[in-house]
Amino acid sequence: MSLHQLELSQFIAGFWRLDSWNRSPSETLALIEHYLSLGVTSMDHADIYGEYSCEALFGKALSLNSSLREQMQIISKCGIKPAFPSTKDRYVNHYDTSYQHIITSAENSLSALNIDYLDLLLIHRPDPLMNADEVAQAFEQLYQTGKVRHFGVSNFTPAQFDLLQSRLEHPLITNQLEISPMQLSTLHDGTLDHCQQYRCPPMAWSCLGGGEIFTGTSAKAVRLRETLTQVAKAHDTDDISQIIYAWVLALPSQPKPIIGSGNLDRISAAVASKQITLDKQQWFSIWQASTGHSVP
Ligand code: NAP
């Protein structure tokens, strides 16, 4: 694997929840412009976010000022086929990483987003029926036709990543992973070590546990809120989300957090957290609050 040409911004804008924000196209454009003004140029989508409806809302907003397209990197994902609502043809949630589905999904995303090319396409989830040669064929076709410029994966183990990489001409440029004080698996199962080994920065989803860190009543969420509040005080902020992002940014695999908020002030606060550096004991106090025990 070699150095990757696509430069994603340090923070990434997540649009999973866009269709729940009830924004007009001009309000969505204002949100996009807010992100760009903060240096957040990478926009994360997926075919299944509202079954292309989030991509379509984004595309409508972008068409109000299409010159912004060249200032951003647009990411989409494919491979999950939800059966909701259930139909005769689709009656069980499943994965599909066949050649035809990857091509069709990418083309549908381009049409919903109303753009000519995706900067980055990810396989959304590892598929036990994935034939790596077939995925490689689909990626090559999308690359050769200029529809997708770069490729990556999401939620892949190192072995799944290496398998797919072994069949590709071009380097996979990221593995999009759940990384949060609420979810430590990738810190300890070799996944982030693999990202560091290949200098392939992961994208980090649900850093705030999808909001659960603020509202959850589990012992873990309660412990985390208490510890995060103490660490926040030491950094002269009362916004624990900033401490969470600083905790993620401290990882040596250099994750790029995907911001999931629809609130402009929270988005600004998230990006400002790059100014905060946690010392090792602050970092481990958050780890300890998550696991419920000290390091061995
Ligand atoms: P998140 O940042 O963990 O959660 C965002 C949620 O937390 C929003 O509903 C937000 O509400 C709420 N929130 C933020 N600050 C809050 C506060 N101070 N108090 C209470 N609630 C607060 O991220 P996420 O949305 O779950 O995921 C981020 C992005 O990652 C998604 O948009 C998507 O692009 C990507 N993703 C990828 C995968 C994958 O499998 N690859 C899976 C899930 C997500 P407000 O809007 O009101 O701020």
Task: Name the residue of 40, 205, 217, 248 to mutate for ligand 1: max ligand atoms within 8 A of Cβ.
Answer: 205
pLDDT of 1 strictly over 60: no
What is the whole-number distance in angstroms between the Cα of residue 252 and the centre of ligand 1?
Answer: 23
Ligand 1 atom nearest to 205, measured from its CA = 30
Cα–Cα distance for residue pair 124/36, rounded to 1 Å: 25
What is the whole-number distance in angstroms between the Cα of residue 13 and the centre of ligand 1?
Answer: 10
Cα–Cα distance for residue pair 205/256, rounded to 1 Å: 9
220 belongs to a structural domain: no
State how far the alpha carbon of 256 is from the alpha carbons of 5, 137, 230, 271, in Å: 16, 28, 25, 11
Is any ligand 1 atom within 6 A of the Cβ of residue 17?
yes
Summarize the confidence of residues 224-240 as an average pLDDT.
98
Is any ligand 1 atom within 6 A of the Cβ of residue 47?
no
The amino acid present at 220, given as its one-letter code, is K
Is any ligand 1 atom within 6 A of the Cβ of residue 245?
no
Note the pLDDT tens digit of each residue in 156-202: 999 999 999 999 999 999 999 999 999 999 999 999 999 999 999 99
CATH number of the domain that residue 49 is part of: 3.20.20.100
Burial 115-138 (b: 16+ CB within 10 A, else e): bebbbbbbbbbbbeebebebbbeb
63 belongs to a structural domain: yes
Q: What was the pLDDT predicted at 4? A: 57
* Total-model pTM: 0.97
Contact 251, 192 (CB under 8 A): yes
285 belongs to a structural domain: no
Summarize the confidence of residues 208-235 as an average pLDDT.
98
Is any ligand 1 atom within 6 A of the Cβ of residue 174?
no
Average confidence score pLDDT of the chain: 97
pLDDT of 2 strictly over 80: no
pLDDT of 18 strictly over 70: yes
What is the whole-number distance in angstroms between the Cα of residue 89 and the centre of ligand 1?
Answer: 31
State how far the alpha carbon of 185 is from the alpha carbons of 22, 178, 188, 190, 191, in Å: 34, 9, 6, 9, 8
79 belongs to a structural domain: yes
The total of structural domains in the chain comes to: 1
pLDDT of 284 strictly over 80: yes
258 belongs to a structural domain: no
Residue with tokens 């929270």: 266
Range of the domain at 43: 1-173
What is the whole-number distance in angstroms between the Cα of residue 280 and the centre of ligand 1?
Answer: 26
Is any ligand 1 atom within 6 A of the Cβ of residue 206?
yes
Which residue CA neighbors atom 22 of ligand 1 most closely? 211
CB within 8 A of 211, min separation 6: which ones? none
151 belongs to a structural domain: yes
pLDDT of 3 strictly over 70: no
216 belongs to a structural domain: no
Return the DSSP state at 183: B
Task: Name the residue of 73, 183, 208 to mutate for ligand 1: max ligand atoms within 8 A of Cβ.
Answer: 208
Contact 188, 158 (CB under 8 A): no
Which tokens in the block code for residue 244?
Answer: 């969470």
What is the whole-number distance in angstroms between the Cα of residue 134 and the centre of ligand 1?
Answer: 33
Ligand 1 atom nearest to 77, measured from its CA = 41
CB within 8 A of 285, min separation 6: which ones? 227, 230, 231
Summarize the confidence of residues 16-24 as an average pLDDT.
98
Q: What was the pLDDT predicted at 85? A: 80
**pLDDT tier at 38, thresholds 50, 70, 90:** very high
Burial of 238 (0-12, 13-18, 19+ CB in 10 A): exposed
Distance in Å from the first CA to the final CA of the chain: 35
- Residues annotated as part of the active site: 49
What is the whole-number distance in angstroms between the Cα of residue 186 and the centre of ligand 1?
Answer: 18
Summarize the confidence of residues 6-28 as an average pLDDT.
98
Note the pLDDT tens digit of each residue in 109-138: 999 999 999 999 999 999 999 999 999 999
Note the pLDDT tens digit of each residue in 84-103: 888 888 999 999 999 999 99
Is any ligand 1 atom within 6 A of the Cβ of residue 35?
no
Q: At what angle do helices 132-144 and 158-165 cross, to 10 degrees?
A: 60
98 belongs to a structural domain: yes
- CA-nearest of 203, 178, 177 to 256 is 203
Contact 31, 65 (CB under 8 A): no
Dihedral in degrees, nearest 10, Cα atoms 266, 7, 171, 99:
60
